[in-house]
Amino acid sequence: SYRCKPRDIITTKDKQRSKALIQNYIASPPPEELPKHLTIDSFQYKGLVNQIIDSKWIGLKINELLVVEYYSRQT
């Protein structure tokens, strides 16, 4: 788990396999518009985090106290 910050660049580790996945994604019509907090550079196979996303934008109801409780028991 890693928390991205604005201006973080996201790249792939396994170049060949990851490039194939990215090419398939770019070639297929996207089901939805790319979120505004991300930018994709399809020529260099990189992503850029524009801003931190607010949990309200996600559209999922998450009980944050339960998440904290779960992970506190893991240590």
Ordered by start, the domain boundaries in the chain are 9-73
> pLDDT tens, 12-63?
887 788 888 878 877 887 667 778 888 988 788 888 999 988 877 777 888 8
Query: What long-range pairs does 61-68 form, CB within 8 A, spacing at least 24?
Result: none
Spell out a b/e string for 23-56, using b for 16 or more CB atoms within 10 Å of the CB, else e.
eeeeeeeeeeeeeeeeeeeeeebebebeeeeeee
> pLDDT tens, 23-33?
887 788 766 77
**Is the predicted pLDDT of residue 75 greater than 80, yes or no?**
no
- Global pTM reads 0.60
